Amino acid sequence: MVSAPPVLVTGAGGYLGARVIARLEAAGIAHAAVTRASTGLHCDLMDAAAVRDLVQRTAAETVIHCAARVPAGMDEFTSDALARENIAMVDNLIAAAPAHIVFTSTMTVYRDPPRLPVREEDASTGLPGYPGGKLAAERRLLEAHHLRATILRLPGLFGPPRSGGLLYNAARAFAAGRPPLTPAPAPLWTIMHVDDAATMCLRAAQRTSTGSMLLNCAYPVRTSVQSVLAELAELLDAPVPAVPDAPFFEMDVSRLGAELGPPAGNLHDRLRELAAQARRESTAFKTSGNHHA
């Protein structure tokens, strides 16, 4: 019996990529973890020849592209050099010509949206740096008629094993009885649990409909930094912080629902999980401190 070609996952050592690998393993789907490190299949995605060799050698038909240069701060967020690297990786994958590329894009392609919920056609123009690079990569994929692309515009991700970011740090602060640090000015913002995002990547890889497709990928809720932190504070019996002028944001996910189905989880349950995690970690910290006192 001929075995199925593996699904290649780039950035498999990263936060989302590792969770995608876990989902593929749980589903019993042949896969290969592509990293720049010595573990998994080593490949420098900036090297066009290496990418072409990887796709040909594995006979991969589907690539889930999670790898990206992610900005470490606002200076890098607007870096055109960073954007060019992310575009180059996509260009090299397109040239290697697998049958299907699942591309993990970003909600940051929306700036000053004309309406809520935002539709896929509402992406902004003239974006600098990281969001501009993601948008340019989307266009290249949609114009590559020799392959199919499924593009998922993802929000901010949270959930284990990440121990950082606005939501996690706020949960830890609430559990410890401290006010959280809040961003000023508050950005357009919504979130998704990393496991729900990984599940959507797996569904996208298994998509059977023809043609390329651009999909908002989010929970069907309207959120702001204020509204999410308020819900988390209430779950942890903490005072609700004031986040002035926090804008609301919501993606239109009707196309996602029709094509891939709704996310496996929902924001309210995932926030309850985060609150429970924060309580456990706070209790463990206090117990450890008492032990060493």
* pLDDT at position 290 over 60: no
pLDDT band, residue 38 (cuts 50/70/90) = low
Return the closest-CA partner of residue 41 out of 49, 50, 97: 50
Q: What is the CATH number of the domain that holds 220?
A: 3.40.50.720
The answer to whether position 94 is within a domain reads yes
pLDDT band at 188 (very low <50, low <70, confident <90, very high): very high
CA 87-89-91 angle, to 5 degrees, is 70
Q: For residue range 64-95, list pLDDT tens digits in order.
A: 999 999 998 878 899 999 999 999 999 999 99
Task: Please tell me the predicted confidence (pLDDT) of residue 1.
Answer: 46
Answer whether 33's CB lies under 8 Å from 63's CB: no
Q: Which amino acid is located at 182 in the chain? A: T
Tokens representing residue 25 in the block? 């393993």
pLDDT at 137: 98
User: What is the model's pLDDT at position 293?
Assistant: 36
Report the C-alpha gap between 133 and 190 in whole angstroms.
20
Angle at 38 between CA 8 and CA 13, to 5 degrees: 50
Mean pLDDT within 85-106 = 98
Q: Is the pLDDT of residue 207 over 50?
A: yes
Q: Model confidence at 145, in pLDDT bands (50, 70, 90)?
A: very high
Tell me how many degrees the CA angle 65-92-195 measures, rounded to the nearest 5: 5
Looking at the structure of the chain, the number of domains it has is 1
Which of these ranges, 70-74, 82-86, 127-131, 151-155, has the smallest mean pLDDT?
70-74
On whether residue 211 sits in a domain, the answer given is yes
| Cα distance between residue 85 and residue 81, in whole Å | 6
pLDDT (0 to 100) of residue 41: 85
Residue 136: domain span: 7-292
Above 60 in pLDDT, residue 269? yes
How far, in Å, CA of 82 to CA of 73, rounded? Answer: 12
Any domain includes 2: no
Question: Per the domain annotation, does 132 fall within a domain?
Answer: yes
Is 65 inside any structural domain? yes
* Residue 277 domain-assigned (yes or no): yes
- pLDDT band with cut points at 50, 70 and 90 for residue 139: very high
Look at residues 35, 141, 43, 11 and name the one whose alpha carbon lies nearest to residue 87: 141
Q: Is residue 220 part of a domain?
A: yes
pTM above 0.85, yes or no: yes
Mean pLDDT of 31-40: 81
Among 36-45, 77-86, 150-159, 181-190, the minimum mean pLDDT is found in 36-45
* Listed range (2-11, 28-37, 47-56, 281-290) with the worst mean pLDDT: 281-290
Asked whether residue 1 is domain-assigned, the answer is: no
pLDDT score recorded for residue 74: 79
> What confidence score (pLDDT) does residue 174 get?
98
Closest by CA to 173, choosing from 269, 281, 46, 77, is: 281
